[in-house]
Structure 1
Amino acid sequence: MAIVGVGGVGINAVQGARSAGATHIVAVDPVGFKREQALLFGATHVCLTARSATLHLRR
């Protein structure tokens, strides 16, 4: 799954996806700090743009 924007609500979506058993969680955000935090909260991949996220979702 892809989560676009990993601020307050988005980071909770990352945690929820991980808890639900998602195996591919792609967090998309232009802010580097938020992408780093998304990995700590359970994202498997992080991307700067939604377009680049599609590469991870097609696998």
Structure 2
Amino acid sequence: MLDRYTITKDGSTRQFWNWMQCLTPDEVRGELATAGFGEVEVYGDVAGADHDPDSPVFAVVARA
């Protein structure tokens, strides 16, 4: 998904593009392994709740 934002302030206009790609926990693990991370933990949120495999939301802690 690509979002474009146009901000006009004080007579100046700037545009920003934001690419979003949805990944599964396994895809994130693969990307992190390729980048050299060894230990990857998946949680249900940033507070460390258990991950629900049926939920589209998750948080990751990766250590090199």
Using structure 2 for the length normalisation, give the TM-score: 0.30
Q: Which of 1 and 2 has greater Rg?
A: 2
User: Which structure carries more helix by proportion?
Assistant: 1
Q: Which structure ranks higher in relative contact order (CA pairs < 8 Å, sequence separation ≥ 6)?
A: 1
User: Which structure carries more strand by proportion?
Assistant: 2
